[in-house]
Amino acid sequence: MKSEELISGVLLVDKGPDMTSHDVVAVARRCLNMKKIGHCGTLDPMATGMLILVLGNGTRLSDLLMSEDKEYVGTMTLGATTSTQDAEGEILEQKPVPELTMEQVTAAFDAFKGDFYQIPPMVSAIKIGGVPLYKLARKGQEVVREPRFVRVYDYEITRFEPPQIDFRIVCSKGFYVRTYAHDIGQKLGCGAHLSALRRTRSGHFKLLPGKHVTFDMLKEGKRDEVLASMLSLYDVSKLRGA
């Protein structure tokens, strides 16, 4: 059995819904009986998919791995804006969804392709005066946020059945998909919120059979299976072409 000092690498977890990224880290620490575990890129409780955990000396790679582009598949629902810009918030405004053509929807998506500035949502972890925005949001406060430079490398509309639109997006670090859905809804004149989200890729990492673990595997303490799925630091450097 490996001791904590010898466990160093990257663990790809397929996160389920209704749990925080911190929940996954806490359960992984118990499963592997080690404290030195962190995650690269928070997923909201509603979101599912790839959560990268860094173990032992792998924690030194956190900034590097978090800086890479991400791919998501998601669903936005037209006709309602919410306090959190996703389905977990309170509905702030409802509007009828007009008879939209695919050309109109594509034009709205095209307006948010390439490089542009995005205003972070109030429910983000960005700190103002040392206080995370989401803590201010819980108190009902709203403050001015500085726009952030982001990039959408590619997108695809995979289903258009009003009021829902399914999409795939490849974006830069620090991109808020909930805000993307909100802004496209504003562009279409009827509002929208993010109703489903799954991260399918982060940098060079994808969820492949035998190369990732589930939350249940961690929760059930399947230590040997979890360690067998871990990518070593050598594996990571090879995958990244280093």
Q: What are the residue numbers of the active site?
A: 44
Q: Distance (Å, rounded) from C-alpha 190 to C-alpha 94?
A: 8
Tokens of 172: 């830069």
Report whether 12 contacts 39 (CB < 8 A): no
Q: Distance (Å, rounded) from C-alpha 135 to C-alpha 149?
A: 23
Q: Distance (Å, rounded) from C-alpha 83 to C-alpha 73?
A: 22
Q: Which of 50, 122, 124, 44 is nearest to 87 (CA)?
A: 44
Tokens of 129: 């005066």
Q: Distance (Å, rounded) from C-alpha 229 to C-alpha 218?
A: 12
CA angle 121, 68, 237 (to 5 degrees): 150
Residue with tokens 């190369």: 211
Tokens of 181: 């859905």
Tokens of 201: 């890729």
For the four alpha carbons of 116, 241, 9 and 201, in that order, the dihedral sign comes to positive
